[in-house]
Amino acid sequence: MSDEEKNVSPEKYSADGVDVATGHPSDNVDGLHRLLNNRQIQLIAIGGSIGTALFVSIGGGLAKGGPAGLFLAYTLYSGVLALVNNSIAEMSTYMPVSGGFIRLAGHWVDDALGFMAGWNFFLYEGLLIPFEITAINLVLTYWAPRLRSLALLPVSVSLSSFSMLF
């Protein structure tokens, strides 16, 4: 935001005025096509939450904390994610943009935060690829202990690369 936007005085309301500002904050200024229905959005959310970490990383937490500790940790973690999801949903409802959470961070806080959120997400996605390859190796060597990790590496890299292309 520029300094002019930050130094704008608040609007004056009359005594009989309403507490909701006029205008249309949900205008589609970016030409974003909203073609997904509620069921498709729910399936995307479920598919995004059931990932490799749920099946691979849960074993260490279960061994160290037991089922009650694991349930408590996931409950706390889910509570934080619910708060973040609710805030992103409110921002997206008020101002729908085609850029996702990176553009929202740049608009609502600062352009520098949006820039760093973009780079943070890029690095996260880049580091996710080696994690997926390691997880494939871990799962396959668990179920077939005779398999060598060195032999599985080119196969898992090629399968991961092939799945990302299509």
pLDDT digit string (tens) for 111-153?
A: 999 999 999 999 988 888 888 888 888 888 888 888 888 888 8
At 98 the pLDDT is 76
CA-to-CA distance for 144 and 8, rounded, in angstroms? 66
Are 70 and 62 a contacting pair, CB within 8 Å?
yes
The full set of domain ranges for the chain reads 36-96, 101-157
Most confidently modeled of 5-9, 20-24, 128-132? 128-132
CA-to-CA distance for 66 and 75, rounded, in angstroms? 14
At 20 the pLDDT is 53
CA-to-CA distance for 16 and 110, rounded, in angstroms? 35
Spell out the alpha helix ranges (H) of the chain: 3-6, 38-49, 52-56, 58-94, 100-108, 111-143, 149-165
At 13 the pLDDT is 45
Q: What is the pTM of this model?
A: 0.60
pLDDT digit string (tens) for 53-100?
A: 677 778 888 888 899 998 998 899 889 988 988 888 888 888 877 778
- What's the average model confidence in pLDDT over 37-43? 82
